[in-house]
Structure 1
């Protein structure tokens, strides 16, 4: 089991003292996840294809940094071999090319799939292998509301996020009896660089805010609690699940509120 000997109060279940956490994708949500895990006692390594971004996120929590491009499967394998024993892996790195299917090029398709799906597979495979050998660990993959609901222009991104969720479920089934938990976090619309195109259009920005039950976008820090929970012993019996942190987006039917 990933769960350690539990003594003390229930608040101790969320402590991560002495555990090593690797955050892949160090900007935005990843940086906030690193802060939250560090505040709960974890030892942090921040990794990103942008070495400067990794260093900045690591410096903010007194952690270590590494340059890592998860589209290079050999680099992921090497990272899993060379980094200190990792108890928690959080993968937030992703990209989107927002175009309708008829406008998509094969090259754009390959770019999105290579990072979002193939990269996710490599992280689960190589870091999961090391966790299985040690008999413990928690892998947390960031998905999206687009793993369940779509809109025009989201075809390839949505397909990769749905695929990532199926990888999570399969890894959970294969690694579970060996002590490793694998889960997904599915955010709604978050104020990050990935959504800058939407934020630049006031009407589009407001439409997305109105779609959630809370009537607003989320901030990266609002995803951090889900990461701490899934990393900790508080979630010791949670695996193969998708935790939706979407402000109720996927619970609400449409944008029109009819009279009661």
Structure 2
């Protein structure tokens, strides 16, 4: 089990005040990692920190906008100077906007692209530049089953998650030679605030149960194993891979 031990390592998780980001931070902390939670809402961020700290975990916060290049540069510099070198980066910050493509507003397109793609590029590059001279590092980008498949009303989201998949492969191709592993997790349909409207929709939940081989929604705690694996020495020769945690939905017609 030493392969999965994260003791002594520092993990930065973006979009970590709730949902998948919070669950991944919890998982990495349970394996021994020190955690830095990132989000823009300082109040929610502090609530998340307090909840994890109550479990005995070493948790800090770093509130900055992951879509702002200057804020990212300053934020990563502050973490590395005040807390320590980042060993593990989880690019989780993301958003959804459901509108038929023909009615999708340009402003919403730009916002979803900035949140879902620009953040991965900006934070990934800022952290990667520091990992390269150290000769080690783990980067996990959170994609989606929409990295592979589409549904009506979310074409821009699907485009961004497809881009996250390919950016993950590109990062791995450039940085594997420096001892950095860059991989992705592609969650299926999980019960999160982002999906609250769909969870409450009986018709959709019924469709999902029939469409998913596992026959149900996922619980965010079920992402823990994938996150720990990709953050640990157990995945030392895994690079450019997207691990789908989806109850089999991408495997079946």
Q: TM-score range by the shorter chain?
A: over 0.9
Contact 1:35 1:60 in 2 (8 A): no
Structure 1 runs (4+) deviating above 4 angstroms are none
Rg bigger for which structure? 1
Which of 25, 33, 36 is 1:34 aligned to? 25
| Structure 2 unaligned regions, length at least 5 | 54-58
Q: Provide the residue aligned with 1:113 in structure 2.
A: 113
For 2:56, the equivalent position in structure 1 comes to none
Q: Residues 40-81 of structure 1, C-alpha deviation per residue, up to 9 Å, x if partnerless?
A: 111111111111222222223331111121111211111222
Matched, 1:50 2:41: yes
- Distance apart, 1:212 and its partner CA: 1.0
Distance in 1, Cα, partners of 2:180 & 2:103:
41
1:102 aligns with 2:102: yes
CA-to-aligned-CA distance 1:155-204 (integer Å, 9 cap, x gap): 10000000011111011011111111111100100100111121221111
Counterpart for residue 180 of structure 1: 180
Deviates more, 1:35-44 or 1:225-234: 35-44
Whether contact under 8 Å (1:90, 1:139) holds in the other structure is yes
Give unmatched runs, 5+ long, in structure 1: 1-10, 254-260
CA RMSD of aligned residues (A): 1.0
SS in 1 for 2:149: coil
**Count of aligned pairs between the two proteins:** 243
TM-score, normalised by the number of residues in structure 2 = 0.93
| Displacement after TM superposition at 1:35 (Å) | 1.5
Contact 1:169–1:240 under 8 Å retained in 2: yes
Contact 1:29-1:224 within 8 A present in 2 as well: no
Residue aligning to 2:90: 90
Shift in Å at residue 131 of structure 1?
0.9
Do structure 1's residue 68 and structure 2's residue 53 form an aligned pair? no
